[in-house]
A and B are shown apart, each in its own frame.
Chain A
Amino acid sequence: MARPLRAWRELVKNLFRKHVTGQYPHTKPVIDKNYRAKILFDANKCIGCNICVRNCPADAIKIIQVNQDEKPTEVDGKTIPAKRKFKCVIDLAKCVYCGQCTDGCPVKALSSSQDFELAHFNREALIDEMKHPYETESKKK
């Protein structure tokens, strides 16, 4: 049955309803806690197994050892090589935020955050370098 103006009732109802759209930068959207956005790195946990690097579909993540120059310690006459320490560099322009690295990490050193406002005017600012505390300490020295 063809009838003109079939939608008018909904239109008039909507005149007295609150609109559903918001003005984005002023009103923030509600982000679910399950949302996958920027990747966070816990340097103390990383063991440098490189599973994340191997499985990254976008070739965005790099795990770099920072303490090649650290000297081995001697305990009871035995030389124990220093525990290897790593930093993580993620290129946010390449990252597709699939979260495969967080899933594959055997020690849960990587995790997803809900920080989605990552756009930037500068390409260099998109390279997210998450340093190991050792690096900053050795620089101070």
Chain B
Amino acid sequence: MEIIKELIIGLFYIIVFPGLLFLVIYGGLSEWLDRKFYAQMQNRQGPPWYQPFADIIKLMSKQVIIPKAADKKMFKILPFIAIAAINTSIFMIPIFSNSALYGFRGDIIAVIYLLSIPTATLFLIGWSSTSPYATIGSMRVLTQLFAYEVPLLIAVLGPCILAGSWSIEDVAVFFTNNPWLMLVNIIGFLVAIVALQGKLERVPFDIPHAETEIVGGVFTEYSGRLYGFMRLALDMEMVVVAALINAVFLGGSFGYSGWIGLLLFVIKTEFVVFLLSVLKAAMARVKINQMVDFCWKWLAPFAILQILICIVARFMING
């Protein structure tokens, strides 16, 4: 009986909360808010709240076309690998309270690497569909990965050094106890927001699927259900990274739990989404060489500067 009970609880975690269902619903709503902000900033009306769900439902009912030259198994399985990786990473991030479901020492590294898996699947998707547009798209995915991943990782390390722990929970608890120290991380926060724009492949770094250059990029050959899952994965990824930023830079739930924790979580993650959409609306897409230049010449030095500041601050706290 115990085993069955544990199994049901485990399945509940994976499928309902904080797993799949929560991510799908909150991801859809976040996508809607992002689109609504974007539309409003462009003086447009924007979609109704159910639009992302309607899109997904429509795509689920459409025919799936797999190109003859593509690797069929890879082509079919990759979207699910991306979803599984994102779903796993949410278990280590605290959501409504300051404790995560399966937090352990060093989970921040695990989360960063789990979040690289969707990017790697994007590369494989492009490569296995063999169309010229998708091939160029996947080349761009990899190039871009090497550009934004390092600044992002260094930026996230800053708060960890300050808190003196490699666990996301501990970082969140540290900032709950010392909220003023969040201001030390302001540079790191901005670096992380810009790098995330690359991770989530949005303007100005939506180079891997720049529609005016390479049609759909890596997604060119995808259609129907499989494309729907891939879009879902990107929405879920946005929620997970927003939650990560919330926990690492914005002090988690400030020790609250329950409804207030929920409210704080929603406000803070949507604030991150809002910042992301302002960046998306205010810039033009850059070229891949300019993107790499920018990440290494500007983002990475600033991230290192942040680490220096954090180390100095750490000594001052302890001293």
**Residues on A facing B (Cβ under 8 Å):** 4-8, 11-12, 14-15, 17, 19-23
Contact = CB atoms under 8 A, between A and B. Distances in A.
Interface SS of A by simple majority: loop
A19 B278 contact: no
Contacts of A22: 45
B4 interface: no
B40 interface: yes
Given A17-B43, A21-B43, 6 more contacts: A11-B282, A14-B42, A15-B37, A15-B41, A19-B46, A23-B45
B205 to A, nearest CB: 14
Contacts of B44: 19-21
A5 B40 contact: no
Per CB-CB distance, the 8 closest pairs between chain A and chain B, nearest first, are A11-B41, A19-B45, A21-B45, A5-B282, A21-B44, A8-B282, A7-B282, A14-B43
Contacts of B42: 14
A4 B276 CA distance: 15
A85 B43 CA distance: 54
A8 B45 contact: no
Given A5-B283, A19-B39, A19-B40, A11 B278 contact: yes
Of B45, B282, B283, the most chain A CB neighbours within 10 A belong to B282
A50 to B, nearest CB: 49
Of B37, B42, B43, the most chain A CB neighbours within 10 A belong to B43
B45 to A, nearest CB: 5
11 contacts: A5-B282, A7-B282, A11-B281, A12-B41, A14-B40, A19-B39, A20-B44, A21-B43, A21-B44, A21-B45, A23-B45
A108 B310 CA distance: 84
Of A7, A22, A23, the most chain B CB neighbours within 10 A belong to A7
A22 B42 CA distance: 14
Contacts of B41: 11-12, 14-15
A22 to B, nearest CB: 7
Contacts of B37: 15
Contacts of B283: 4-5
A29 to B, nearest CB: 14
A21 B39 CA distance: 10
Nearest to B284: A7
A19 B46 CA distance: 9
Contacts of A20: 43-44
Of B41, B44, B281, B283, the most chain A CB neighbours within 10 A belong to B41
A6 B283 CA distance: 8
A8 B278 contact: yes
B43 A19 contact: yes
A79 to B, nearest CB: 69
Nearest to A5: B282
Nearest to B39: A19
